[in-house]
Chain A
Amino acid sequence: MSITLLGINHRSAPLNIRERLSISCGEEEKTLAQLKDIPHAGEVMYLSTCNRFEVLVNTKSGDAIEEDLKAFIISQGNLSPEEMGKCLYLYRDEDAVRHLFRVASSLDSMIMGEPQILGQVKDAYRLCVRQKTSGVILNRLLHHAFSVAKRVRTETSIANNAVSVSYAAVKLAKKIFGELDRKTVLLVGAGEMAQLAAKHLMDNGVNRIIFSNRTYGNAVKLANDFHGFPVEFELLEEKLGDVDIVISSTGSSDCIISVDMVATALRRRKNRLMFLIDVAVPRDIDPAAGKIDNVYLYNINDLQGVVDENMEGRLNEAKKAEAIIDEEVARFSGWFAALEVVPTIVELKNKTEGIVKGEMEKSHSWMKDLDGEQNENIKILVNSIVNKILHDPVVGLKKEGRNGEAGPYLAVVKKLFRLE
C-alpha cells in the first residue's frame, strides 16, 4: 500500500501548460472516472485549480502505477512527454502527505495564505466521495488535511493580513469604521485598481457607491455595472461631504481634490471620519489633506508598503505553519504505518478462532451433557484464555507498526503461526 502524488503547479510549470491541464466545467466526473480506470489504481482523487493539477492515489501496486499516471496527465493536457517531464513532480508516502497538507494549508499557493485553496481541495474530495473513488486511506488523509489547514489558520496568523492593494484598502477601512454597512463610497475616475477596491468594499458590506468621472457617460456605465449612482464631475466638491470613503484614480496631471475641499467636506459632515484612497499616479488628492484631524489619506505607495510588510509577516508565520505540518505528517504516518500490521493481526485472530471452534466441536460428545449455563461458561473461559495469550503480541505488533519497524516481527509471526 502506498500513497503517490503526481502533479504540476505554478512553480513547476509555465502558464501555457497549466492552461491546457485545467479541466473544463462538466468534465470533472469523466476525468475522475478515467483516473479510476487505470489498472491497480485503488483509491484516486485529482485536484485542478488555475495554478495546479495534481493526482493523488493510494495503490497496492507500488511504483508500477507511476508510468500510467504520467500517461494520464500527458493525455489530459495533450502534452509531449518531454514538456511534461520538465514540469512534473512526484511525491511518495510521507512526502505526498506533507505536500497535500501544505497545499490544503495554502503554504504552497502562489499567494501564500490565500483562503480559496482549502475550498477547492474540499470540492475535489467531495467529487471523489460522490463517485466513490476514495476509501479508508484517502478519507482519513483528506480529513486530516482539512484539520491541519484549520490548525494552521487558527494557530498562525498566516491569513490575517491583506496581501493585495485592494484588500489592504478594505482592511484599513475596517480599522477606521469597524462595520462598513451604511458607509458610502465615492469612486473618482475609472482606474482598474479603484474598481477592484470598490468591488472588495461592496463585498464587505458597503452598499452605497457613487461614481464620478470627467466623462459623465463613463460614470453612468460604471454605476450600472456596480448598481451605484453616477454624479457629474462638477458636483464632486459638493458630494464630498456625503461620503465616508473616497477612491480616486483619474489620469489627471494635477490634484483634483484639494485640502480646502476636504476641510469643507469634513465640516459639512460634522467631523465624521473620512478615508481617502489615492491610487492615481500622479496623485489626485493633495497629500496635505492627510494631516487634517479625522482624515486618513493613503496613496498607492502607502498601500503597497502595507502589503509588503504583511507579506513579510506571512513568511514568518509560514515557519510556524511548517512546524505544525511536520507534527501532523508524523501523526498521520504513524497511523498509516500501523495499518501494515492489521492484516496479520486479523489472520492471527481468525486462526485462533478456527482452533477454538474445531476443539469445541471435538468436545461436543461430552459437552452435550452439560446444561446451557455451564456450556456458556466453558466458551467464555476458553475465549478469554486465547485473548489473554494474544493480547501482548498484538499490542507489540501495533506498537512496532506505528514506529514503522514491524517488518521482521510480521515475518516471524507469520512463520511461527503458519499464517499465509
Chain B
Amino acid sequence: MEMMFFRMSLVAYFVSTAGYIISISVGRVRVAKVSMWAFSLAFALHSIYVVIQWIGAESVPSADIYGSLSFIAWAVSGAYLAFQTKTKTRVLGAFVSPAVLVMMIAASAGLVDGASIPSAMRGDWVPVHVVLLLTGGALFALACLAGMMYLLQDNLIKGKNVSGFSGLLPSLQDLDRINHICIVWGFPLLTFGIIAGSIWARTIWGNSWHWDPKLIFTAISWLIYAILIHQRIAMGWKGRKAALLSIIAFAGLLFTFVGVNIIFVTMHNF
C-alpha cells in the first residue's frame, strides 16, 4: 500500500523537476512557482509513505540502501522546503528537485511493500542511529548543492558574465549562509548518529569501534566536516574555499555511504 504513495510522489517529483528545467530554460519565474507546488505535493506524498513504512516496519525507516536513499531524498526535500519559506531562493529548487528525483529513481529500483529487516538492525538504537545520520546527510547534501551553486555564481561574477544564467542564481551571501547553516546543523547530527551507532555496535558486535572500511571512511568524512567547521568558525573561512570543501566533504560522505559497500567487504553492509 505504501508503495502507491511512493510512486505518486515519484511522479510529482518528476513533474516538479521538469517544471524547474523548463523555467530555467525559458527564464520564467511563474513556472518555477508551479514547480514549487508540485514539489511540495511530492514531499507531502513522500511523507505519507515514510510514515506508513515506518509504522509497518516497526522500528527502522530505512533498512537498506534503497530505503536510505528514499529517506535522504525525503529529508533533503523537507530541509529545502524549510529554507524556501525562510529565504526567497526559489531557484535552489532547480538543483534540489533533480537531485531528489535521481535518489528517488535509484530508491525505486529496490523498494518493495513490507520489506524485511536484517536481525542486526532490530534494536532501540538503530532508528536513532539511522535517522540522525540520514538527516545529517540530507543537510550536508543541501550544503553541497548550495556550495556548487556558489562556485557557479562566483565564477560567473568573476568572469564578468552576469547577464544570463547568473540572474537565476541566488546571491553569493545567501548561498554562503545556506551552506553554513546546513553544515552547522548537520555536524551534530552526524556526530550523535555515529555515537548512537557505536553504542549499538557494542551491544551486537561487542565493541564500539572496528577497523572496518565503512567505519574508517565515516571517521574520515567526519574529520573533513570537523575541519570545515573549524575553518569556518575559527579561521573565518567564507565563500569559495568553504563551498569547495563542503563539496569535497560530501563526496567523501557519499563514498562512505554508497561506494564502500561496492568496493570493500565490510561488516557494516547496510
Contact = CB atoms under 8 A, between A and B. Distances in A.
B236 A270 contact: yes
A294 interface: yes
A175 B166 contact: yes
Contact of A172 (B157, B170, B174, B241): B157
B160 A175 contact: no
Contacts of B27: 157
B157 A306 contact: no
A347 to B, nearest CB: 47
Given A161-B167, A177-B172, A296 B158 contact: yes
Contacts of B162: 171-172, 175, 306
Contacts of B239: 271, 273, 293-294
B207 interface: no
Interface string A285-323: 000001001101010001001100110010000000000
Contacts of A372: none
B89 to A, nearest CB: 9
Nearest to A312: B163
Contacts of A273: 172-173, 176, 238-239
A178 interface: yes
A374 interface: no
B7 interface: no
Contacts of B153: 175
A155 B27 CA distance: 10
Nearest to A270: B236
Please report whether the interface of chain A is mostly helix, strand, loop or mixed according to DSSP. helix
A309 B163 contact: yes
A175 B163 contact: no
A33 interface: no
A176 B166 CA distance: 11
Contacts of A298: 160
A272 interface: yes
A95 to B, nearest CB: 31
Nearest to A174: B171
A61 interface: no
Given A176-B157, A306-B162, A293 B173 contact: no
Interface residues of A, number: 27
Given A176-B171, A178-B171, A293 B240 contact: yes
B171 A175 contact: yes
A178 B170 contact: yes
A351 B228 CA distance: 89
Given A157-B27, A161-B163, A176 B237 contact: no
A290 B163 CA distance: 19
Contacts of B166: 175
B158 A178 contact: no
A336 B158 CA distance: 53
B172 A310 contact: no
Given A270-B236, A273-B239, A176 B163 contact: no
A305 B161 CA distance: 9
A160 interface: yes
Interface in A243-286: 270-273
A308 to B, nearest CB: 9
Given A160-B167, A306-B162, A313-B163, A177 B173 contact: yes
B163 A272 contact: no
Interface string B98-127: 000000000000000000000000000000
Nearest to B171: A178
Given A296-B157, A302-B160, A178 B241 contact: no
A271 B238 contact: yes
Contacts of B171: 174-178
A171 B167 CA distance: 9
Contacts of B28: 155
Contacts of A305: 160
Nearest to B175: A178
B157 to A, nearest CB: 6
B167 A271 contact: no
B228 to A, nearest CB: 14
Interface string A154-172: 1101001100000000011
Interface in A136-186: 154-155, 157, 160-161, 171-172, 174-178
Interface string B148-162: 000001000110101
A296 B159 CA distance: 10
Interface string B49-71: 00000000000000000000000
B238 A178 contact: no
Contacts of A160: 167
Contacts of A270: 236, 238
Contacts of B30: 154
A316 B170 CA distance: 24
A178 B157 contact: no
B163 A310 contact: yes
Contacts of B173: 176-178, 273
A294 B160 contact: no
19 contacts: A155-B28, A157-B27, A172-B157, A175-B157, A175-B162, A175-B167, A176-B172, A176-B173, A177-B172, A177-B173, A178-B170, A271-B237, A273-B238, A290-B158, A306-B162, A306-B163, A309-B163, A310-B163, A313-B163
Which 5 pairs of residues, A with B, have the shortest CB-CB distance? Answer: A270-B236, A178-B171, A309-B163, A271-B238, A294-B239
Given A177-B173, A271-B239, A290-B158, 17 more contacts: A157-B27, A171-B162, A172-B157, A174-B171, A175-B166, A175-B171, A176-B173, A178-B170, A178-B171, A270-B236, A271-B238, A273-B172, A273-B173, A273-B176, A273-B238, A293-B239, A302-B160
